């Protein structure tokens, strides 16, 4: 426990991550439930268990910083399907997941490049990013295995469509998040050499 209260922007961001991880666990959990048993459902199950665990890591991180989590209304994921359109088959499910996971990873990577990160935050980011790397990998491999069934061009076009939706949702929903991250960036030294 630290005696000094943490910056409110940091508290908000860690709470935002926590809420997003809970939403991710629910989102991927619903996908796993809708799938037939097999390798993809197996990995999707591990995936949603990881996201639930990540939410717990952020809760624990906030506690170690002497702060409690804020209750936040909407998470990024809540608007995702609405903007991207409901995936109509397994390939589309994996494509939307891939795009989403890349967004999460780049956000965590950006945060982890702050040089004067609190060690507890850094440790939590590092631990979670290890899992997020695997999330991107297993989905990439699963999508590659679908080339013969769906066609490489169709998969590429689907990813492009979801990327566009992702940019759209991010621009609309992450304004506050962005402002707070920018604040933290401005008040810390950045490691731009990475
Ligand atoms: Fe996660
Ligand atoms: Fe993930």
Q: Sketch out the chain's domains with CATH numbers.
A: 8-73+85-186 (1.20.1260.10)
In a 3-state reduction of DSSP, which class is residue 153?
A: helix
pTM: 0.86
Burial of 148 (0-12, 13-18, 19+ CB in 10 A): exposed
Looking at residue 182, what is its pLDDT?
Answer: 76
Nearest ligand to the CA of 124 is 1
Nearest ligand to the CA of 139 is 2
Tell me how far the alpha carbon of residue 123 lies from the centroid of ligand 1, in angstroms. Answer: 14
Tell me how far the alpha carbon of residue 125 lies from the centroid of ligand 2, in angstroms. Answer: 12
Average pLDDT (92-108) is 90
Looking at residue 77, what is its pLDDT?
Answer: 64
pLDDT tens digits along 43-73: 999 999 999 999 999 999 999 999 999 998 7
Tell me how far the alpha carbon of residue 187 lies from the centroid of ligand 2, in angstroms. Answer: 28
Ligand 1 (ion): residues with CB under 5 Å are: 21, 51, 54
What percentage of the chain has pLDDT greater than the value 90? 54
Residues 6+ apart with CB under 8 A from 153: none
Q: Confidence class of residue 119 from pLDDT cuts 50, 70 and 90?
A: very high
Question: Which secondary-structure segment (H or E) carries 59?
Answer: helix 39-64
């Amino acid at each position: 426990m630290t005696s000094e209260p943490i910056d409110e922007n940091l508290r908000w961001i860690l709470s935002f991550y926590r809420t997003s991880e809970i939403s991710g666990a629910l989102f991927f959990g619903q996908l796993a439930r809708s799938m037939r048993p097999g390798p993809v459902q197996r990995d999707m199950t591990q995936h949603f268990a990881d996201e639930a665990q990540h939410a717990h890591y952020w809760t624990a991180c906030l506690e170690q910083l002497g702060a409690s989590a804020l209750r936040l209304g909407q998470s990024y994921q809540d608007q995702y399907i609405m903007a991207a359109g409901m995936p109509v088959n397994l390939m589309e499910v994996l494509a939307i997941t891939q795009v989403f996971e890349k967004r999460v990873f780049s956000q965590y990577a950006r945060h982890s490049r702050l040089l004067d990160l609190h060690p507890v935050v850094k440790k939590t980011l590092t631990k979670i990013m290890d899992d997020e790397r695997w999330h991107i990998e297993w989905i990439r491999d699963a999508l590659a295995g679908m080339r013969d069934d769906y066609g490489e061009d169709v998969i590429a076009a689907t990813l492009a469509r979801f990327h566009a939706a992702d940019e759209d949702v991010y621009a609309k929903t992450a304004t506050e998040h962005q402002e707070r991250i920018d604040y933290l960036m401005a008040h810390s030294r950045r490691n731009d050499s990475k």
